[in-house]
A and B are shown apart, each in its own frame.
Chain A
Amino acid sequence: MYKKLSFMLVVVLMLGLFVSPAFAENIRVGLILAEGGLGDQSFNDAAYRGLMQAKEELGVEVSFVEPADIPEMEDHQRAYADAEYDLVIAIGFVQESALAEVSADYPHINFAIVDTVVDNPNVTSLVFEEHEGSFLVGVVAGLMTETDKVGFVGGMEVPHINKFQVGFEEGVKYANPKAQVFVNYAGDFADPGKGRELAVSQNERGADIIYHAAGGTGLGVIDAAKANGFFAIGVDSDQDHLAPGTVLTSMIKRVDTAVFETIKSLVEGNLEGGIRSFGISEDGVGTSEFKYTKDIVPQSVLDAVEEAKAKIASGEIVVTDPTK
Chain B
Amino acid sequence: MWDVLALLVNTSVFAAAFRMATPLIFAALGGILSERSGVVNIALEGMMLTGAFTAVFVTYHTGMPWVGVLGAMAAGALMGLLHAVVCIRYRANQVVSGTALNIFAGGLTVFLLRFFFNIAGTSPAVNVIPDITIPVLNRIPWIGKILGRQNPLVYLALVSVVVVHIVLFKTVWGLRLRSVGEHPRAADTVGVNVYRIRYVAVALSGALAGIGGSYLSIAHLSRFSENMTAGRGFIALAAMIFGKWTPLGALGACLFFGYADALQMRLQNLGIPVQFVQMLPYVLTMIALAGFIGQAVAPKASGEPYVKEG
**Chain A residues within CB distance 8 Å of chain B:** 36-41, 44, 157, 182-185, 187-188, 190-194, 196-198, 200-201, 204-205, 216, 219-220, 223, 226-227, 242-243
Contact = CB atoms under 8 A, between A and B. Distances in A.
A303 B188 CA distance: 79
Contact of B16 (A39, A40, A197, A219): A197
A194 B20 CA distance: 8
Interface string B94-127: 0000000000000000100110000111100100
B226 interface: yes
Contacts of B266: 201
B122 A157 contact: no
Contacts of B232: 193
A41 B222 contact: no
A157 B274 contact: yes
Contact of A193 (B110, B114, B230): B230
Given A36-B226, A216-B122, A204 B268 contact: no
B275 A157 contact: yes
Contacts of A219: 122, 221, 223, 225
A223 to B, nearest CB: 5
B274 A223 contact: no
Nearest to B124: A242
A182 B270 CA distance: 10
B269 A205 contact: yes
B120 A190 contact: no
A323 B227 CA distance: 30
B154 interface: no
Given A201-B12, A201-B265, A220 B221 contact: yes
B221 A192 contact: yes
B16 A190 contact: no
B216 interface: yes
Contacts of B125: 223, 242-243
B198 interface: no
B221 A193 contact: yes
Nearest to A220: B221
Given A197-B262, A201-B269, A223-B125, 11 more contacts: A36-B226, A37-B110, A37-B121, A39-B114, A40-B120, A183-B268, A187-B274, A187-B278, A193-B221, A193-B228, A193-B232
B20 A193 contact: yes
A191 B230 contact: yes
B178 interface: no
A184 B220 contact: no
B20 to A, nearest CB: 6
Nearest to B278: A187
B187 to A, nearest CB: 39
A227 B220 CA distance: 9
B19 interface: yes
Contacts of A216: 121-122, 225-226, 228
Nearest to B264: A187
A181 to B, nearest CB: 11
Contacts of B275: 157
Closest 10 A-B residue pairs measured CB to CB? A39-B120, A39-B121, A191-B230, A40-B121, A38-B120, A39-B119, A187-B278, A223-B221, A185-B274, A216-B225
A39 B125 CA distance: 14
A41 B226 CA distance: 12
Contacts of B119: 39
Contacts of B122: 39-41, 216, 219
B257 to A, nearest CB: 12
B108 to A, nearest CB: 13
A224 B209 CA distance: 24
